[in-house]
């Protein structure tokens, strides 16, 4: 169970680290090298994004990575085959992150069954609210997978509690309105927002959108349980290559 794993890790660390990669970017071979470096550097769990043509929650950095992965031939089935290999090779939990159209076209229950068979632990589907996700929630429960739901700074307290009633594993708290890859102000206001999130759920809290340096993780200690790093790693791969990833992750600690 994902939540049990996270709580166990939190007995040993003040804050956990989750990273995000786009599968097939720059290539599946490079994706494997990136994951290998991240795990060796101490990442606690990882979200694997299935490329999609219209990733509405993602900013230009991750959008471009999605587009390039698709142009290089990434498919849903290749992502499933690759993630099975990853889950068998590395001893941390892996989650899928994607958009509902992928599940709809693949078949929701078929998608959940394939996730479970491949050793994945859950999924983040940012454009699927629980009101429209009955089939998805039933399939995730059937295959003992964690559906991860999202809070934002504009989510009312009552809505947070409602979303948390469907969530498992952890809650993903986005740091601000908008998309990934834009600077976030790590300030008192962010701390107050995380306090609201904490009051709404007993699940561990992950904070993403704008986390990119050690000072950000230090700020989040005691306020969130998991720091999520995504766009900054892709920028690093773009600018310095795959070999720079391991040192970057180590320095975040």
Q: Which residues contact 240 (CB under 8 A, 6 or more apart)?
A: none
pLDDT at 183 over 60: no
What does pTM read for this prediction?
Answer: 0.92
Q: Worst-scoring range by mean pLDDT, 36-40, 58-62, 74-78, 155-159? A: 58-62
- What sign does the CA torsion over 52, 105, 114, 28 have? negative
Q: pLDDT category, 198, cuts 50, 70, 90?
A: very high
pLDDT single digits (tens) 209-240: 878 889 989 989 999 999 999 888 888 888 89
Section 28-55 average pLDDT: 93
- List residues with catalytic annotation: 47, 58
Section 93-110 average pLDDT: 97
Q: Which residue has the higher pLDDT, 61 or 86?
A: 86
**pLDDT at position 180, please?**
44
Section 37-61 average pLDDT: 88
Tokens of 50: 């299935």
pLDDT at 181 over 60: no
pLDDT single digits (tens) 115-133: 999 999 999 999 999 999 9
Average pLDDT value for the chain: 91
Section 137-164 average pLDDT: 97
Residue 42 CA to residue 162 CA, distance in Å, equals: 33
**pLDDT at position 160, please?**
98
Section 128-139 average pLDDT: 97
Section 55-71 average pLDDT: 83
Quote the percentage of the chain above a pLDDT of 90.
74
Section 42-50 average pLDDT: 96
**pLDDT at position 176, please?**
57
**pLDDT at position 185, please?**
57
Q: Which residues contact 127 (CB under 8 A, 6 or more apart)?
A: 56, 57, 99, 100
pLDDT at 182 over 50: no
């Amino acid at each position: 169970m994902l939540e049990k794993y996270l709580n166990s890790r939190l007995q040993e660390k003040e804050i956990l680290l989750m990273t995000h990669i786009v599968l097939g970017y720059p290539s599946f071979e490079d994706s494997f090298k990136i994951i290998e470096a991240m795990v060796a550097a101490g990442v606690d769990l990882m979200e694997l994004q299935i490329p999609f043509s219209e990733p509405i929650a993602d900013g230009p950095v991750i959008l471009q990575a999605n587009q390039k992965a698709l142009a290089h031939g990434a498919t849903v089935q290749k992502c499933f085959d690759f993630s099975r290999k990853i889950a068998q090779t590395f001893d941390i939990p892996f989650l899928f992150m994607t958009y509902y159209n992928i599940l709809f076209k693949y078949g929701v229950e078929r998608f959940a069954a394939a996730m479970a068979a491949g050793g994945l632990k859950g999924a983040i589907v940012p454009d699927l609210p629980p009101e429209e996700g009955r089939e998805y929630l039933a399939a995730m429960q059937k295959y003992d997978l964690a559906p991860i739901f999202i809070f934002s700074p504009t989510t009312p307290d009552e809505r947070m509690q409602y979303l948390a009633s469907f969530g498992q594993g952890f809650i993903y708290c986005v740091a601000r309105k908008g998309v990934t890859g834009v600077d976030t102000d790590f300030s008192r206001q962010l701390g107050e927002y995380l306090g609201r999130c904490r009051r709404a759920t007993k699940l561990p809290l992950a904070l993403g959108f704008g986390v990119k340096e050690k000072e950000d993780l230090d700020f989040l200690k005691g306020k969130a349980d998991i720091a999520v790093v995504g766009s900054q790693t892709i920028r690093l791969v773009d600018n310095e290559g795959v070999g720079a990833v391991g040192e970057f992750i180590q320095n975040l600690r």
